[in-house]
Amino acid sequence: MANRPFFIPTENKDELVITDEVEFKWFFGFAKIQKQKSILSFHKNISKKFKFNKILEISTKSEDKLGIKLSAFNLKINYKNKEYFLESLFQGSKIFTDQGPHQDIYEKKPIDAKKDERIKRSDLREFSFFGEKFSLDFDFYSWLYLIALNQNKNLTNEILDYQAFTDIEFNPEKSLNCQAYSAALYSSMIKNKILDVNKEYTNDELKNLIPSKKIKNYQQKLI
């Protein structure tokens, strides 16, 4: 058995995303089919708890094409007329105590970016996105995610149909950032009219609209 968080967009500006968790049967193994069995068990137990019938797994292991497209391994961001994978931008922007950022990682495929030995450290200090620095108090990951969705409007309307989002690869004991949370945040920001799904935003405009990371209740002990 395993416990994992899932994320619910709300129509409450004071709590844009509700985080809850359920216990479900975990199917061991690295094969995609094993992950999908775990996802099915995960979603079944969420449905039992909340009576939801529209839950989206966001990862490369999703059985839903939308969930695969919304993975940070597949979402791309255009910056100064050049496309980069979201995951590669996030990993390459990390600054540690005595090294980073590593902009060469921007050019890597997501799987290689995440495996780069230079970022496998626990002393993360801040982020630098093409020279612009961000403190750890800023939700840098969700900002990148919102930029990607802002540039891929063909995906955004479908997100609004879902009641909850999951990421089977996310373990809050090992990581702070979660693409399922960021998708739920986007959905909630649209529902609360913080964002307009039909408007094109600049990166700076999105930066100013990102809420404090402190609303992420699953992160409270880590902030």
More confident call, 176 vs 184: 184
- Taking only the tens place, the pLDDT of each residue in 17-76 is 999 999 999 999 889 999 999 999 999 999 999 999 999 999 999 999 999 999 999 999
DSSP labels, 39-70: HHHHHHHHHHHH--S-EEE-STT-SSHHHHHT
Task: Say what the pLDDT of residue 222 is.
Answer: 36
Residue range 156-181, pLDDT digits in tens = 989 999 999 999 999 988 888 999 99
Dihedral of the alpha carbons of 57, 75, 132, 210, in degrees to the nearest 10: -40
Decide if pLDDT at 89 tops 60.
yes
Q: What is the β-pairing status of strands 82-85 and 76-79?
A: antiparallel
C-alpha closest to that of 8 among 44, 58, 55: 55
Q: Residue 222's CB: how many other CB atoms inside 10 A?
A: 11
Residue 221's H or E segment, with its range, is none
Q: 178: number of CA atoms within 13 Å, CB side?
A: 29
State how far the alpha carbon of 165 is from the alpha carbons of 9, 82, 115, 160, in Å: 9, 30, 25, 11
Q: Reduce the DSSP state of residue 151 to 3 states and report it.
A: helix
Cβ neighbours for 33, distance < 8 A, ≥ 6 positions apart:
none
Predicted structure pTM score = 0.93
Sorted by where each begins, the domain ranges of the chain are: 2-71+159-195+214-222
Residue 223 has pLDDT above 50, yes or no: no
Q: Over range 200-221, report the average pLDDT.
A: 74
pLDDT value at 80 more than 90: yes
Q: Give the number of other Cβ atoms within 10 Å of residue 77's Cβ.
A: 22
Name the nearest CA neighbour of 213 among 16, 10, 3.
Answer: 16
